Amino acid sequence: MIVRRATLAEILPLRHAELRPGRPVATAHFDGDDEPTTAHVGAFDDGGILACATLMRRPLDGEDAAQLRGMATRADVARRGIGTAVIAFAEGLVTREWRLALLWCNARTSAQGFYERRGWRVVSPVFDVPDVGPHVRMVRRP
């Protein structure tokens, strides 16, 4: 497996399949995906993409920050450390290349434990994202 920067075209099918199943592909395309400051990350093996995430330069409470969005792992390879490798790569990119000290995301409550085990912390009450479900805002200062 290799984790590297990826293109939107490489990650969009996985993002759609895992995060927006049964809905139009357009629902998996996020505002900001095509911005020059956005970075897409993927984990790949010979069979294709295994996991993905997107980083967008988005302030949080007035502080320059990176927002993690669209984090997904193929269901058939979940819980094998692949998502952990993707998030580690993403955190490194933000700190080394973007020189930012704050990452944030709106995490599904079902994924909250994954982020907490990696040092992220909840900073909001649960809120609902229409057609997606309950989320919490989380932050990490690497």
CATH numbers and ranges of domains, the chain? 2-140 (3.40.630.30)
Residue 4 has pLDDT above 90, yes or no: yes
What is the DSSP secondary-structure string of the chain?
-EEEEE-HHHHHHHHHHHHSTTS-GGGGPPTTTTSTT-EEEEEEETTEEEEEEEEEE--BTTB--EEEEEEEE-GGGTTSSHHHHHHHHHHHIIIIIS--S-EEEEEEGGGHHHHHTTT-EE-S--EEETTTEEEEEEEE--
pTM value is 0.93
Tens of pLDDT, residue by residue over 13-66, are: 999 999 999 999 999 999 999 999 999 999 999 989 999 999 999 999 999 999
